[in-house]
Amino acid sequence: MYEGVVQDLIDELGRLPGVGPKSAQRIAFHLLQADPVDVRRLADVLLEVKAKVKFCSTCFNVSEDEQCRICRDPRRDPSVLCVVEEYKDVVAIERTREYRGRYHVLGGAISPIDGIGPDQLRIRELMTRLADGVVTEVILATDPNLEGEATATYLTRMLKVMDLRVTRLASGLPVGGDLEYADEVTLGRAFAGRRAAE
Amino acid sequence: MYEGVVQDLIDELGRLPGVGPKSAQRIAFHLLQADPVDVRRLADVLLEVKAKVKFCSTCFNVSEDEQCRICRDPRRDPSVLCVVEEYKDVVAIERTREYRGRYHVLGGAISPIDGIGPDQLRIRELMTRLADGVVTEVILATDPNLEGEATATYLTRMLKVMDLRVTRLASGLPVGGDLEYADEVTLGRAFAGRRAAE
């Protein structure tokens, strides 16, 4: 429908997650009229990301070096290991400034529908990391959804044989929310996990 | 928050229209894991679009050449000129296969709020094109919204002095829609524009 290269651009943009045909068109038209300098900067950063960004050889976090900042940081507690699904979960947890241990990024969650079983995740690498006995607590911080729960259950079973404390993040009411708007599962978990008032 | 170049990518993506911070993050993470070949193809097409795509020197339609396909096509009727706001309107009209004349792309619509007056649009160029008297009908096909209507009214007034038929696209009920769901302005226009039943 569009002049060749414009259609190519719409097609490429339409392959991005969350970008439907309409948005792809809108973005393409924006780029057509945009300053060439801005478009070149976007193209450059795309190439740079692929050239520079690697995955940490220890924890599989995103990194510009062989080892990520967190694995290299001697102030991080090597005895606590937080297992997450994705790099973005590391970022979310780092943002809290609550956690001073290290990470292990699985690369997803068990999801039979999507053909993702334990072998597709970095579980073997996790076991290898735990073998030297330095880690004494593993915090399972997978997503609180079906796939995340399945992954946590699977890992709990695998880790049971090791001399480790295995913990999970607390479920409950989100801070700042209204109790009446909480879904029943969350509210149920909040009851089950109730603690003595201080 | 993120490793340098990842944050740069999120920032650049967040500048695209309709891409909020969350979507920018989502797209960036997708690209991090994507095949480098795919990312390079996106970067290449971005650069190619800016290098190749020009605007037709006659009608300001998007073009890979000095003149666009439609202006170059001798089978298109040179006596009818359809005035639209943007390139995407040309594409929408071409899709109907109903129109065999040529186009003039204004580059927007009059919108005082956005600081767009007649001087920011290609109205002077339109007047120059009409000067030789080849065009006998001008179809004003601006958007059926406030800005589009203002632009059409302005152009109607400017074109009145010339020996031309000036027409507007019909307003009315969208085909395939339900009458009861039509807004009152559209329904009112449909009444005002009613025709003898065939």
**Does the model's pTM come out above 0.90?**
no
Q: Which of A170, A40, A20, A37 is nearest to A96 (CA)?
A: A170
Closest-approach residue (CA) in chain A for B108:
A33
**Stretch 104-123 of chain A: residues touching chain B, C-beta under 8 Å:** none
0.90 surpassed by complex ipTM: no
Domain residues of chain B, as ranges?
5-52, 75-168
CB–CB of A1 and B94 under 8 A? yes
Q: Which of A16, A140, A127 is nearest to B33 (CA)?
A: A16
In sequence order, which ranges of chain B are alpha helices (DSSP H)?
A: 4-14, 21-33, 36-52, 69-72, 87-96, 123-130, 146-159, 184-192
How far apart are the C-alpha atoms of A88 and A141, rounded to whole Å?
12
- Helix, strand, coil content of chain A in percent (nearest 5): 50, 10, 40
Domain A5-52 carries which CATH code?
A: 1.10.8.420
Predicted confidence (pLDDT) per residue in A23-39, tens digit: 999 999 899 888 999 99
Handedness of CA A145, A147, A151, A153 (dihedral sign): positive
From A27, A46, A64, residue closest to B17, measured CB to CB? A27
Contacts of A3 (CB under 8 A, 6+ apart): B53, B62, B63, B64, B68, B69
For residues B127 and A187, the model is more confident at B127
How far apart are alpha carbons A152 and A166 in whole angstroms?
Answer: 10
Using a CB-CB distance cutoff of 8 angstroms, which residues of chain A are in contact with residue B41? Answer: 12
**Model pLDDT for residues A123-174, shown as the tens digit of each residue:** 999 999 999 999 999 999 999 889 999 999 999 999 999 989 999 888 887 8
CATH 3.30.360.10 fits B75-168, yes or no: no
Instruction: Tell me the residues of chain A between 128 and 157 that have a Cβ less than 8 Å away from chain B.
Output: none
